[in-house]
Amino acid sequence: MSKLSDELSLELPLEQASLACRSAIASIGWNIKSMDDRRIVPKVGVGISRNPSNIEVLLASTDDSRTTVTLNGSIVGIGPVQKSHLRGEMNRLSNAIEVAASQSLTAHAADQRGAEPDPVEQLRKLGELRDAGVLSDDEFEAKKAELLGRI
pLDDT confidence of residue 112: 53
Q: What is the CA radius of gyration of the chain?
A: 17
Query: If we measure between CA atoms, which residue out of 130, 148, 147 comes closest to residue 139?
Result: 130
Which element (helix H / strand E) includes 15?
helix 14-27
pLDDT band with cut points at 50, 70 and 90 for residue 2: confident
Beta strands, E only, the chain:
2-10, 31-36, 39-43, 54-63, 66-75
Q: pLDDT, tens digit, for every residue of 91-150?
A: 999 999 999 998 887 765 555 555 566 777 888 888 888 888 888 889 889 888 888 877
Q: What domains can you pick out in the chain, each with its CATH number?
A: 2-115 (3.30.530.50), 116-151 (no CATH)
The 10s digit of each residue's pLDDT in 26-76 is 999 888 999 998 999 998 865 555 567 899 999 999 888 899 999 999 988
Q: What is the pLDDT of residue 19?
A: 92
